[in-house]
Structure 1
Amino acid sequence: MKQKWWIGKVAYQIWPKSFADANGDGIGDLEGIIGKLDYLKDLGVDIIWISPVYRSPLVDQGYDISDYYDINPVFGDLETMDRLIAEAKKRDMYIIMDLVVNHCSDEHEWFQKAMKDPDGEYGKYFYIAEKKDGKLPCNWRSYFGGSVWEPIPGTDKYYLHSFHRKQPDLNWENPKLRQEIYKMMNWWLERGIAGFRIDAIINIKKKLPFQDYEPDRDDGLVYIGRMLEEAEGIGEFLEEMKHETFEKYDAFTVGEVFNDKESELREFIGENGHFSSKFDFAPEMCGKHGGWYEHETVTAEMYKNAIFDSQMTTGEIGFLSNIIENHDEPRGVSRFIPAEDLSDTSKKALACAYFFLRGIPFIYQGQEIGMENCDFPDISDYDDISTMDEYRVCLDAGCTKEEALNLAHTFSRDNARTPVQWSDEENAGFSSHTPWIMVNPDYQRINLKSQLHDPDSVYAFYKKMIALYKDPQYHDTLTFGRFHPFEREQKNLIAYERKNGDQTILVLVNFQKEPQTVRFSSKDQNAEWKVLLNNTDIVDRNGDQITLCGYQALVVTCD
């Protein structure tokens, strides 16, 4: 691919509500982000993705937008947003915002007008339908549980919502609606943001006309993803959006794309793709089946096969955005590392395994200090609406309250939404006020202040990884180099090569607590080795083999 400004950059996701509170009200804000820009710059971050800060009733933490042209007062105002963009630019950093256009809030002006006149102009901005023969238009289940159809009071009509009932889906089949969206996007790009992370974008194309599918639970409904398997033609919407917005500004765009087909990969992220990149969610999908109670424990082999399959499928078509966690997932170290093996060493091993894959490395706030899942005492302590639904599903499936709560401890999105642990001071240094959601009780053990000047900390290891990634001597290989699995069949070994011309960089991660030996071919045996990164102080190499201790991660050149 041609060199683009965003290729070779390191990205960082901020969940504003839990990042840094500057005004002492217990809620993170834009001023808090501005105050941490120097920290992020020093870490090595280039691109900052900020989860929604638009005006919103916060039913789904800002993914329910009531005004796309304003900032929610709990986070600040437009003037502060402009200052954040300007301060980032002073540091050669880029701000990208969440683009949530599959749906809006039921408090948005468009929807309010649609409810007053469902058959009028604004009614066509949404999916509004009536029952037929006493039945709803289709039996799709929303992502947050229950039917996608919600009655419109005082009428015999219903509106569609793929997510919460207070998040009505926007009707992308309406060209006037699409132009309103493009106008808003360009308004933000003109203000100086560098692009968008694009939320739930696959959902904008529905399989029409509405139809039922075979139910997959006793409620007679079917997971809405079943419909998406048959929806065709989304590329037309995405190409129009790109031409009307992104390409005019050379914007960076990363899609939240769960349901694309392998044959569509080039259309999505190829040289002239709809987006600059898309997240690799393959590892996040590991072990997921139905409700939480059906999920499997993720093993090292499952994780390895997920990331390797994605890398091999993508090849040099485009650049994936690689993650181990985000605001919609539990903490990666708690998900991918067995609880009994969780340590600074194993956290570094997981970091090394994903960070040097081909693509754009994304870091989620707190990941760089190894933040872990949080055991909320009671289900009432959770805030996330998805967690409430999954908890109910577990109870309906026969789980006890204790079992359902333990599953929430493992899988809830709120695990990643607890305040960033800046120090061991009150409220983890996040705020002078009691935070909007509980602080993880482990903050006195895991916090930035204790790691900042510790050369063996998880934080120090992330800085070393980023510095290596950007080192001019290796940057081209780690950015453009081809991906090749290394000894893939060796159990619990996550190893791969990045090759670019005559340079080869080998990543070796022993993803288990027991040592294991890796053997090399005669060609590799005679190569000149240089250790670039090591999460231990041991290099046990003997001729054609190297013995890795438990959760050891090594990055070497072998030219």
Structure 2
Amino acid sequence: MNTLNKQSEQRESLLAASQRQWWKRAVFYQIYPQSFNDENGDGIGDLKGITTKLDYLAELGVDVLWICPIFDSPMIDNGYDVADYRSVNPIFGTDADLDELIAEADKRGMKILLDLVINHCSDQHRWFQTALEHPDSEEAGYFYFRATDNNRPPNNWRSIFGGPAWTRTQDGRWYLHTFAKEQPDLNWENPKLRRQLYDMVNDWLDKGVGGFRVDAITFIKKDLTFASRPAEPGKLYPIDHFQNYPGIHEFLDELKRETFARYDCVTVAEAPGVSPDTFAEYAGPDGHFSMIFDFNWDHNKDVPLKNEPESIASWRKRMFDSLLHTQKYGWSAIFLENHDQARGPDKFLDKANHHRDGVTCLATTYMLLQGSPFVYQGQELGMTNGFRGGIDEFYDVSALNQWHEGLEQGRSAEEMLQELNAYGRDNARTPFPWNAEPNGGFTTGTPWMPLHPDYPNVNAEQAQADEESVWTFYKQLIAFRKKGAWGDTLAFGSFEPAYEKYPGLIAYRRRLDGQTLLVLNNFGGELVLDFGASTDRRVVFANGEAEWTPGGELKLPPYRSVVLAES
């Protein structure tokens, strides 16, 4: 080993040793509670339903359960409109049910992450109701109310869910909402409002939750001039929103100082709009949060992914550029799916490749990267998108708003339906299929949303019984990442791109303390890598047979993932 490599590895070892927090070893699992498991038969998933499936999650090998919002809510945006931050929504159970879930998870070595929604609340929250009834009340200062003389909104800002970002009250005032009109934005400029939020966060941490996934946090700072923005030709509203606006770091420093820093907890921020220049402030060693979701390399509808070498190479570049930057300055949460997106196989693979090798190649690619991997419920089964024949089959408020706005702008119903089927949030929100029985074992009642029609063939019971299933592979992959001789390297080791000359290959090395793993994921045609007859590399994990030739060539068929130990 040359001196430069030795010094590099020494730096890597020291850095890793100083930052080996417990959560960097963890694999996270996201639960959408409405759709996970219904214990009381009312058709809606609940907390007791999650508790009864903790053994399933423990067998899979996950460590931290992020549960989407379970606070009291009218459910306009499926819980992201919070009416009471201190009480469990009765549709999910009781406060005692949550206490039981936290305790039972702890017995199995798992922690519970709650979803913290503090950019906005519900219009049914008592703060907002008081503000409506008493314009001069303290609570009125918790929101952005404005009056105008011309019966028009204060400006032309657009809601992310479609339409104007302002709604008028009965007494003629306007209030700001970045999302749905039922989700008024909270005024973070008000120190009394911030104190209320901090006290609530600390009370939950005192109850034993392991931390929070923090929703839409980059929106909390606004442009207080409330000036209109230019709109593109043919558009009704501006496309830009106020993410990571100047002045936000003062709020986030205070939030951490008054809450998270006082506990051994983990915080995961949904932080769109964070630039490379500000990443360290959000997720560096002294950042506002333990990590943020890395949206920079995740595939989305603006960058269509095709199963062609050039397209794979483009995706790889976004991924690698982001990872090379973030490893210098902090920590990221990495994912293929979540409750706001389409299913992974549909985002990343042609339908012809929604097979085991394709899905497990995707899993290996992201699960062994540097960062904290998140598995979304059903992802471990290889679930795919469903199909909805009309807008009346959609449940998501965002989809419904986008549908109406699209029609107003002259888009065709056919075009809108195709887009919502491909990218709509309902794709990930269908009830979890536990078995092939009626309603997939999810409920004994009528499910709040229809199950994916393929649930008799794709369900947990069948997957767990099949040694070659996607579920079994995820279990093995999670164990490989966390346990045994390579656990530290995969949890704390550095990331280094490899073999970038092959456009259909996503390859990288993980290094720590003299150990090196080479991860090969072939998304292109059959590939042969020549390591030479004297190679001492050995296969330590793969999603299928890895064939060596006597001359030291490794054959990789399409969608083969192979992990080699190089030292």
Question: Normalized against structure 1, the TM-score is what?
Answer: 0.94
Partner of 1:25: 42
For residues 316-374 of structure 1, the C-alpha deviation after alignment (integer angstroms, 9 at most, x for no partner) is 42221110010000101111111122111100000001000001111000100101101
Report the more deviating stretch, 330-339 or 295-304: 295-304
Contact 2:218 2:271 in 1 (8 A): yes
- 1:199 matched to 2:215: yes
Contact 2:306 2:312 in 1 (8 A): no
Contact 2:300 2:347 in 1 (8 A): no
After superposition, residues 85-484 of structure 1 pair within 5 angstroms as 85-131=102-148, 135-155=152-172, 157-216=173-232, 218-225=234-241, 227-228=242-243, 231-284=245-298, 286-288=300-302, 299-396=311-408, 398-484=410-496
For residues 186-227 of structure 1, the C-alpha deviation after alignment (integer angstroms, 9 at most, x for no partner) is 1111111010000000000112211111113635411242x3
Counterparts of 1:73 and 1:135, CA distance in 2 = 38
**SS of match in other structure, 1:141:** coil
Partner of 2:13: none
Contact 1:143 1:224 in 2 (8 A): no
**SS of match in other structure, 1:228:** coil
Change (3 A) 1:355 1:135: same
For residues 12-55 of structure 1, the C-alpha deviation after alignment (integer angstroms, 9 at most, x for no partner) is 00000000011111110000000010111111111000000000
The Cα of 1:89 is off from its aligned counterpart by 0.7
Contact 1:195 1:252 in 2 (8 A): yes
For residues 438-458 of structure 1, the C-alpha deviation after alignment (integer angstroms, 9 at most, x for no partner) is 100011121111111212110
- 1:47 matched to 2:55: no
- 1:509 matched to 2:524: no
- 1:529 matched to 2:541: no
Counterparts of 2:53 and 2:464, CA distance in 1 = 14
AA aligned to 2:346 is S
The Cα of 1:381 is off from its aligned counterpart by 1.0
**SS of match in other structure, 2:277:** helix
Counterparts of 2:137 and 2:399, CA distance in 1 = 36
Counterparts of 2:44 and 2:233, CA distance in 1 = 38
For residues 500-547 of structure 1, the C-alpha deviation after alignment (integer angstroms, 9 at most, x for no partner) is 1321111101113x3122344x6xx74422212211124244545422
The Cα of 1:398 is off from its aligned counterpart by 4.7
**SS of match in other structure, 2:24:** coil
State the number of aligned residues. Answer: 547
The Cα of 1:481 is off from its aligned counterpart by 1.0
Contact 1:51 1:98 in 2 (8 A): yes
Partner of 1:82: 99
Counterparts of 1:380 and 1:265, CA distance in 2 = 41
Report the more deviating stretch, 53-62 or 493-502: 493-502
Tell me, which stretches of 5 or more residues in structure 1 are unaligned? Answer: 290-294
For residues 241-268 of structure 1, the C-alpha deviation after alignment (integer angstroms, 9 at most, x for no partner) is 1111111112100000111121111111
For residues 61-103 of structure 1, the C-alpha deviation after alignment (integer angstroms, 9 at most, x for no partner) is 0000001111111100000000000001111110010000000
Contact 2:435 2:460 in 1 (8 A): yes
For residues 109-140 of structure 1, the C-alpha deviation after alignment (integer angstroms, 9 at most, x for no partner) is 00001111223311110001122666532211
Contact 1:303 1:336 in 2 (8 A): no
Report the more deviating stretch, 448-457 or 348-357: 448-457
**SS of match in other structure, 2:455:** helix
Contact 1:464 1:533 in 2 (8 A): no
Higher RCO, 1 vs 2 (CA within 8 Å, ≥6 residues apart): 2
Q: Return the match for 2:561 from 553, 556, 559.
A: 553
Counterparts of 2:534 and 2:148, CA distance in 1 = 73
**SS of match in other structure, 2:519:** strand
Counterparts of 1:212 and 1:541, CA distance in 2 = 66
Change (3 A) 1:429 1:541: farther
The runs of 4+ residues in structure 1 deviating greater than 4 Å are 132-135, 295-298, 396-399
Contact 2:497 2:508 in 1 (8 A): yes
Change (3 A) 1:244 1:216: same
Partner of 1:292: none
Tell me, which stretches of 5 or more residues in structure 2 are unaligned? Answer: 1-17
Contact 1:316 1:482 in 2 (8 A): no
Counterparts of 1:274 and 1:204, CA distance in 2 = 14
AA aligned to 2:181 is R
Report the more deviating stretch, 304-313 or 15-24: 304-313
Counterparts of 1:285 and 1:240, CA distance in 2 = 33
AA aligned to 1:413 is R
Contact 2:144 2:187 in 1 (8 A): yes
Change (3 A) 1:542 1:162: farther
Counterparts of 1:424 and 1:414, CA distance in 2 = 21
Contact 2:305 2:347 in 1 (8 A): no
